[in-house]
């Protein structure tokens, strides 16, 4: 059979050249994969860090198939194909190219996101949520890119999706709001799991931060589930991030207390506070004249955010004042009334 013999619009020489490009390209890539990649993997295992392992893995799983696709495309390009076959080859090339680029972008974004999340100490739930968001964005762009290169009217498709998206967004406005606020909590970090917070009348410890809701173990024992939108729109007090707690102590003594006792009371309170472990004294003064006694006001700080430690220090200070005032003969004031009775003359 002559090399110039024509079959389906192509000579045997054309078929031979196409087969040579296709088979030769696949053979070269196969040898590269077997020889080069084995050495690269062995080298990567000896080096510290995971970046080189990730790069080799991504190239092998995503970029290497693109080289096979290029060999197929150039081989097919040597032939005069029927319009239908040419469209199928072009559509196949566009779809495979789009899928592999999307896989490449996902692999790279997943790696760097995972590394960042590990440094931040985030859990598996956060990782899955971020990766799901990346998948939605990357595959949405990939579909639009593929449709545009396949000859579809992308503007009409986007307009149709936009109308449907508006309807879905209106129907799922609350859910989408909670999802958005989940990422607000994730990036802004007003609180984290394990933090003790107060939001309005709710006080407790954060157990779990979910995509839609956050679970709080209340101080009274029950579990409270709050929408993320509620938390981000409310004023939050985060006690775990306190460096110290301020304590205002008011002590009332009777008006019958001697002047010497009154002058020594503030000093006694100061010595007791300074002797308490974890307490930092600020001030102590005779602050006011009360209805039932003279009021001393002292202010001190308890270092740290542990509530039990705060109560232990406060208890130690209170016991110390009780004992010291008892030794000095300083009596505590309590609500009393004095009734004067005047007898009428007969």
pLDDT in tens, 175-232: 667 777 877 887 788 888 888 899 988 899 999 888 788 999 998 889 999 998 889 8
Other CB atoms within 10 A of residue 213 CB: 18
Output 165 or 205, whichever has higher pLDDT: 205
Burial of 329 from C-beta contacts in 10 A (0-12 / 13-18 / 19+):
exposed
Which candidate, 108, 115, 96, places its Cα nearest to that of 134?
Answer: 108
Name the segment(s) of the chain with CATH classification 3.30.70.100: 244-328
Please say if the pLDDT value at position 346 is more than 60: no
Q: Measure the CA–CA gap between 119 and 10, rounded to whole angstroms.
A: 60
Q: Are 249 and 299 in contact (CB under 8 A)?
A: yes
| Average pLDDT for 150-155 | 70
In the prediction, which pLDDT does 302 show? Answer: 93
Residue 297: its pLDDT value, please? 95
Length of the chain: 346
CB 184 within 8 A of CB 232: yes
Task: State residue 127's pLDDT score.
Answer: 60
- Provide the 10 A C-beta neighbour count for residue 249: 16
pTM here is 0.49
Flag whether pLDDT at 271 surpasses 90. Answer: yes
pLDDT band at 248 (very low <50, low <70, confident <90, very high): very high
DSSP state of 304: S
Quote the CA–CA distance of 313 and 297 in Å, as a whole number. Answer: 17
Residues 309, 306: Cα–Cα separation, whole Å: 5
Out of 109-118, 217-226, 297-306, least confident range? 109-118
* pLDDT exceeds cutoff 80 at 32: no
pLDDT at 164 over 60: no
> Which residues, 6 or more positions from 249, have their beta carbon under 8 angstroms from its beta carbon?
269, 297, 298, 299, 300, 317
- pLDDT at residue 264, as a whole number: 93
pLDDT at 254: 92
Reduce the DSSP state of residue 203 to 3 states and report it. Answer: strand
Residue 118's pLDDT band (boundaries 50, 70, 90)?
low
Q: What is the DSSP string of 30-93?
A: HHIIIIIHHHHHHHHHHSSSSHHHHHHHHIIIIIHHHHHHHHHHHHHHTS---HHHHHHHHHHH
Which residues, including other chains, have CB under 8 Å from residue 332's CB and lie 6 or more apart? 251, 252, 253, 254, 293, 325
Q: What is the pLDDT of residues 45-98, one digit of tens each?
A: 666 656 556 666 667 677 777 777 777 777 776 666 667 777 787 787 788 778
DSSP-derived 3-state class of residue 258: coil
For 236, residues 6+ apart whose C-beta sits below 8 A from its C-beta are 190, 191, 197, 198, 199
Of the listed ranges 112-116, 193-197, 295-299, the least confidently predicted one is 112-116
**Residue 313 pLDDT exceeds 90:** yes
Q: Where are the alpha helices (DSSP H) in the chain?
A: 12-31, 37-46, 51-58, 64-77, 83-120, 124-149, 154-171, 173-188, 228-232, 259-275, 307-328
Domain 244-328 - what CATH class? Answer: alpha beta
Domain 188-238 in this protein, CATH class: mainly beta
139 has a pLDDT exceeding 90: no
Residue 123 has pLDDT above 60, yes or no: no
- The 8-class DSSP code of residue 152 comes to -
Q: Could you give the CA distance from residue 77 to residue 82 in angstroms, rounded to a whole number?
A: 12
Considering the chain, tell me which residue range(s) the CATH 2.30.30.60 domain(s) occupy: 188-238
């Amino acid at each position: 059979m002559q090399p110039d013999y024509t079959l389906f619009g192509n000579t045997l020489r054309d078929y031979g050249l196409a087969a040579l490009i296709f088979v030769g390209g696949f053979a070269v890539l196969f040898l590269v994969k077997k020889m080069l990649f084995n050495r690269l993997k062995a080298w990567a295992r000896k080096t510290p860090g995971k970046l080189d392992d990730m790069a080799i893995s991504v190239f092998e799983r995503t970029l290497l198939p693109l080289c096979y696709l290029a060999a197929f495309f150039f081989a097919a390009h040597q032939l005069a194909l029927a319009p239908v076959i040419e469209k199928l080859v072009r559509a196949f090339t566009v779809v495979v190219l789009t899928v592999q680029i999307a896989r490449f972008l996902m692999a790279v974004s997943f790696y760097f996101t995972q590394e960042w999340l590990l440094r931040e100490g985030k859990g598996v739930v956060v990782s899955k949520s971020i990766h799901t968001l990346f998948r939605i964005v990357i595959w949405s762009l990939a579909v639009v890119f593929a449709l545009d290169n396949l000859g579809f009217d992308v503007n009409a498709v986007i307009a149709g999706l936009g109308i449907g998206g508006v309807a879905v967004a209106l129907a799922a406005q609350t859910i989408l709001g909670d999802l958005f606020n989940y990422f607000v909590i994730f990036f802004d970090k007003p609180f984290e799991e394990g933090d003790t917070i107060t939001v309005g009348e709710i006080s407790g410890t954060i157990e779990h931060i979910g995509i839609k809701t956050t679970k709080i173990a209340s101080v009274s024992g029950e579990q409270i589930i709050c929408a993320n939108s509620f938390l981000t729109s409310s004023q939050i007090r985060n006690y775990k991030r306190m460096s110290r707690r301020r304590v205002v102590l008011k002590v009332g003594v009777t008006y019958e207390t001697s002047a010497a006792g009154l002058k020594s009371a503030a000093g006694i309170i100061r010595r007791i506070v300074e002797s308490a472990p974890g307490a930092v004294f600020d001030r102590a003064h005779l602050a006011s004249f009360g209805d039932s006694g003279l009021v001393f006001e002292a202010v001190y700080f308890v270092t740290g955010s542990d509530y039990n430690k705060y109560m232990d220090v406060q208890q130690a200070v209170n016991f110390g004042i009780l004992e010291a005032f008892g030794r000095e003969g300083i009596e505590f004031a309590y609500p009393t009334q004095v009734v004067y009775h005047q007898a009428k003359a007969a």
